[in-house]
Structure 1
């Protein structure tokens, strides 16, 4: 968007609108929080339920 006013108008026009039978929720994006790297593996997952398959 080229201006704050255009951005606000677009958000207000689309927030709560219906698309393909679903209500849209539109808001302004925020920067991602830096939560550090403690706590080990986040997400990812995968595997085969702890069972090796060869």
Structure 2
């Protein structure tokens, strides 16, 4: 069984190979995904690493708060994305109230 980890506060110069190498010290890494800004294509400073559960637990404990590229990493188990609520464009009101 594998776990997906959220890795935050990454240096913007990080690449997937560097992140894979960092986590591989704790177990087999099955995937690495760095998140990019849709408009600019620049890294947003976070990503996800999927790896075996026992290695993921060890990596979380060892790497959370560890300095990497001059920044302290934030590593925890990724949470499922919550669906966005419907509505009327973000202003939270009833359009027909006038």
Same fold at TM > 0.5: yes
1:29 maps to which of 64, 78, 87 = 78
Q: Which SS does the other structure have where 1:10 is aligned?
A: helix
Ranked by relative contact order (alpha carbons within 8 Å, sequence separation 6 or more), the top structure is 2
RMSD: 1.6
- Point out where structure 1 has 5 or more consecutive residues left out of the alignment: 42-54
1:35 deviates by 2.8
Q: What TM-score results when the alignment is normalised by the length of structure 1? A: 0.59
**More strand as a share of residues:** 2
Rounded Cα–Cα distance in structure 2 between residues aligned with 1:8 and 1:39: 41
Q: In structure 2, the residue corresponding to 1:26 is in which secondary structure?
A: strand
Shift, 1:19, TM fit:
1.2
Q: CA deviation at 1:12?
A: 1.2
Q: Aligned pairs, how many?
A: 40
Q: With structure 2 as the length reference, what TM-score do the two structures score?
A: 0.36
Matched with 1:52 is none
Decide which of 54, 66, 86 is 1:17's aligned counterpart: 66
